Amino acid sequence: MKSATALLLILCLSGALVQAEMASQSDISAELGALRASVEELRLMENRLAASESNVQAQENTVKELRAELDVTKTELLHYKEQAEKMEKKLDGSKVAFSVALTEAVGPFRVETTIIYPNIITNIGNAYNAHTGFFTAPISGVYFFRFNVMDSWKDSAMGAALYKNNQRVLLNNAWNHWEDNEHVSNGVVLELSQGDVVHMRLPAWYSVTDFGEHHFNIFSGFLLFPM
């Protein structure tokens, strides 16, 4: 009887151990499943984090590119502004035109002499100096000049020469055979650099004549276009 009871007890204990072991294995399986789920979730989170970091890097690169483009644009705008200011100054300096006249007889002299036209009819840009007789180019460009001279002395040489700096460009003259008004005139297009000087000279022993406001002797010029 005792043996049967002991056997029964052993069988019960064995069943309980088996059940406990099965329960433990079930718990372990559940824990492993939960762990696998957590690992998968972590992997997904790592992937999302990597994707986010990649997007952030791409955005940072885009910001750098935009900043570089902005710097280039600022540089270009500054260049255009400087060019516009230079063009504005050039346009302001392009308003150049003058006409001046004699008011009395000049010459003859023993040496070639600069003709100073004291009567300023027009002097836009103030490039002509009535004290020296010189026109000074305010900007580089192509200019047109014209002059007319007159003399009324019989048996005398008359005329004038146009000079660029110290170089004679042209000379117009005539001999007055009669006691009458003798005229000569001419015109020329000159390319001038800023600061170049143009003026008229009376050759030695030549003379020109004017009376008050008749303006027989005129010296004129104006800028055709800047360069």
Q: Note down pLDDT in tens along the chain; length 227 residues.
A: 556 565 555 655 566 555 655 656 677 777 777 777 777 788 888 888 888 888 878 888 887 887 888 788 778 777 767 775 666 555 555 899 999 999 999 999 999 999 999 999 999 999 999 999 999 999 999 999 999 999 877 777 889 999 999 999 999 998 876 766 788 999 999 999 999 999 999 999 999 998 877 889 999 999 999 99
CA atoms of 41 and 47, how far apart (whole Å): 10
Residue 106 and residue 81 share a domain = no
Residue 210 and residue 130 share a domain = yes
Tell me if the pTM is above 0.95: no
Residue 40 and residue 58 share a domain = yes
Quick one: pLDDT at residue 35?
Answer: 76
Residue 30 and residue 88 share a domain = yes
Beta bridge partners of residue 99, listed in sequence order: 122, 220
**Contact criterion met (CB below 8 Å) for 197 and 133:** no
Residue 126 and residue 201 share a domain = yes
Residue 102 and residue 212 share a domain = yes
Residue 134 and residue 27 share a domain = no
Beta bridge partners of residue 119, listed in sequence order: 101
Closest CA to 207 of 170, 167, 163, 174: 174
Domain boundary among 44, 77, 93: 93
Residue 162 and residue 190 share a domain = yes
Closest CA to 173 of 147, 143, 139: 147
Domain extent, residue 33, equals 1-93
If 0-12 CB within 10 Å is exposed, 13-18 middle and 19+ buried, where does residue 151 land? buried
Domain boundary among 78, 93, 108: 93
Residue 146 and residue 160 share a domain = yes
Quick one: pLDDT at residue 98?
Answer: 98
Quick one: pLDDT at residue 184?
Answer: 93
- Look up the CATH number of the domain holding residue 128: 2.60.120.40
Residues 48/49/53/59 CA torsion (nearest 10 deg): 50
Residue 208 and residue 110 share a domain = yes
Quick one: pLDDT at residue 208?
Answer: 93
Give me 135's structure tokens.
């026109």
Residue 163 and residue 70 share a domain = no
Q: Looking at the 3D structure of the chain, how many domains does it have? A: 2
